[in-house]
Amino acid sequence: MASRPRPRPPFRGVGVSLITLFAGDGSLDARATTDLARELVDLGVTAVVAADLAGEGPALSLDERAELIDALRRALDETDGVPLIAAAGAPSTRQAVQLTVSACAHGADALLVLSPPFAADPDPYYDEVVRAAGGVPVIAAHHPLASWPGLDMPDLLDLPAAGVEDVTGDADRLLETLEVFEGPLYTGSAALLSFAGPLGVAGAIVALANAEPERCANAFGGDGEEQRALTKAYIEAEVEFPAGIKELTAKRFGTSTVSRMG
């Protein structure tokens, strides 16, 4: 079967679901977070995702999100076109629209929007978010463990989104999505990097890239040995999430392990 043309992806390669760093008193440390983002970009990540689940977005206030996005925007403006993607999913359409409008106003290049919980039809939710984004690309996230039931295959046929992220780690689901969804696809599982990249998946959005950016990039490029070398870190990162990935990142970069979630 001939491959179908797909819209231009918001980014290609390995994007990091950036952890948010906090000071000892639990306050947002935007400067330390942006310093980490700069270092990860220097080591090969091709996009930075702010305030996702790994970034403890649900524990950030709207003002803190805006402060973080502002700081990351300034930092990434000094890079060679590395996009800033802001998480903007929420339990209700009203909340998602509010997060979307704020993220766009503060300079996000794209949005990562978790599907709404318990929605029989996610289209109205995404219609409103896409309208509020005003041309900023929206990547819809399928993560049923975080927001049940996620996106069923029929939902993908006419989904009003510029891309889809699949966080399930299900290889069968990834293959089926490549056939069903006509836009760019991203894997959210660091366990499937060396599988996804050679298949033609546009990219990955993974928390493990906070601690292992080079190996994640190499694995996505099809290096099976690098994929296997990630196994121990992958398991450790899943322990008491997001504490596990914060511990791993601290071992590598000396960053704070303070969390608000978990």
- Residue 6 pLDDT greater than 70, yes or no: no
What is the tens place of the pLDDT at every residue in 46-85? 999 999 999 999 999 999 999 999 999 999 999 989 999 9
Under the banding of pLDDT at 50, 70 and 90, the label for residue 262 is: confident
What is the tens place of the pLDDT at every residue in 198-239? 999 999 999 999 999 999 999 999 999 999 999 999 999 988
Structure-token match 């039931």, residue found: 149
- Residue 242 pLDDT greater than 70, yes or no: yes
What is the tens place of the pLDDT at every residue in 163-193? 999 999 999 999 999 999 999 999 999 999 9
- Residue 3 pLDDT greater than 50, yes or no: no
117's tokens: 């919980």
Task: List alpha helices for 46-122, DSSP H.
Answer: 62-76, 93-105
Walk me through the domains of the chain, giving residue ranges and CATH numbers. 13-253 (3.20.20.70)
CB-based contact 195:174 (threshold 8 Å)? yes
Predicted confidence at residue 1, as pLDDT, reads 35
Element (H, E) at 85: strand 84-87
Euclidean distance between CA atoms 65 and 81, whole angstroms = 22
Under the banding of pLDDT at 50, 70 and 90, the label for residue 7 is: low
**SS3 per-residue string spanning 125-145:** HHHHHHHHHCCCCEEEEECCC
Mean confidence (pLDDT) of the chain = 95
CB-based contact 32:67 (threshold 8 Å)? no
pTM for the predicted model, two decimal places: 0.96
What is the tens place of the pLDDT at every residue in 85-137? 999 999 999 999 999 999 999 999 999 999 999 999 999 999 999 999 999 99
Closest CA to 194 of 228, 166, 164, 167: 228
